[in-house]
Amino acid sequence: MESASVALGHEHEQHGPPPANRSSRVDAQLLGMLLFIISEVMLFGAFFSAYFFIRVVAGNDWPAAGTALPIAVAGCNTAVLVSSSLTMHWALVSAKNGNRFGMRAGLLTTFLLGATFLAVQINEYVHLGFAIGDSAQATIFYGLTGLHGAHVTVGLLLLSMATIRAFRGHFSPTEHRGVEVPGIYWHFVDVMWIIVYTTLYVL
């Protein structure tokens, strides 16, 4: 009887920490990225609030008098970034279907398009003709576009890691979270740029 009790005790003995309680059906990595994106939307919202205060509430010219924005160049750059969303989608679909060539080509192309966008943006800063401290409008312009550029840089780092892992054969149709999560972030970066471009350059 005593030996049975001892055996029963060993059967229910817990080794290590208990399993984590998951209150959500969403994957932890995916949920973390979605929550991060929500926080970033609020950050961009703060900058857009300053923009609308300057332009709508205060009624100041946009851009500031005597300055101009390269709308055509920025429009072409927007097309480059939007194209990178398509190649990112191609990479994810290829990963889910076990198409290693499509996944690798899609990730690499997305990275190159993103790097092109960032290079054009930096070149634009060099030739704008006004500095960040010249006016309130210039401060908001550099603040919003610079914030987005920082997000593009982070996205390129994520894409570079995903691309390296893809060429090392780390992803499969059942294990492709390392492509999906950076892809969600990259689509967010693209959508935010469309909003920034429309607001700052077009309207």
Contact 53, 129 (CB under 8 A): no
A 10 A CB-CB count for 48 gives 16
Q: Rounded distance, CA 39 to CA 130, Å?
A: 31
Place of tokens 């054009």: 120
- Give every CB contact of residue 54 below 8 A, 6+ residues apart in sequence: 60, 62, 136, 137, 140
Rg of the chain over Cα atoms, rounded to whole angstroms, equals 24
Instruction: Report the distance separating Cα 45 and Cα 59, nearest Å.
Output: 19
Answer yes or no: is 4 within a domain. no
Query: 70 with 77: CB under 8 angstroms?
Result: no
Q: Could you read off the pLDDT of 22-51 as tens digits, one per residue?
A: 555 667 888 888 888 899 999 999 999 999
For residue 154, is it within any domain? yes
Q: Tens of pLDDT along the chain (203 residues)?
A: 445 444 545 445 556 666 655 555 667 888 888 888 899 999 999 999 999 999 988 888 999 988 999 999 999 999 999 999 999 999 999 999 999 999 999 999 999 999 999 999 999 999 998 999 999 999 999 999 999 999 999 999 999 999 999 999 899 999 998 999 999 999 999 999 999 999 999 98
Could you tell me which residues come within 8 angstroms of residue 157 by beta carbon, excluding any fewer than 6 positions away?
Answer: none
Give a yes or no: residue 1 inside a domain: no
Question: What distance in Å separates the CA atoms of residue 98 and residue 102, rounded to the nearest whole number?
Answer: 9
- Which residue in 190, 186, 162 sits closest to 176, CA to CA? 162
| 182 CB-contact burial (10 Å; exposed 0-12 / middle 13-18 / buried 19+) | buried
Establish if 90 belongs to a structural domain. Answer: yes
DSSP reduced 3-state for 98: coil
Instruction: Please give the angle made by the CA atoms of 87, 26 and 97, to the nearest 5 degrees.
Output: 35
pLDDT at 24: 53
Domain that holds residue 106: 26-202
pLDDT in the model for residue 32: 86
Which residues make Cβ contacts (< 8 Å) with residue 122, sequence separation at least 6?
149
Amino acid at position 147, single letter? L
pLDDT for the residue 83? 97
Q: Provide the domain count of the chain.
A: 1
Is the CB of residue 154 less than 8 Å from the CB of residue 36?
no
- pLDDT at residue 22 in the model: 55
Say what the pLDDT of residue 36 is. 87
Report if residue 195 sits inside a domain. Answer: yes
In a domain, 108, yes or no: yes
Residue 162 lies in a domain: yes
**Domain of residue 121, CATH code:** 1.20.120.80
Q: Which burial class, exposed, middle or buried, applies to 1 when counting CB atoms under 10 A from its CB (0-12, 13-18, 19+)?
A: exposed
- Predicted confidence at residue 31, as pLDDT, reads 84
Phi-psi region of 129 (alpha: psi -120 to 50; beta: other; left: phi over 0): left
Question: What is the model's pLDDT at position 151?
Answer: 96
In a domain, residue 52? The reply is yes
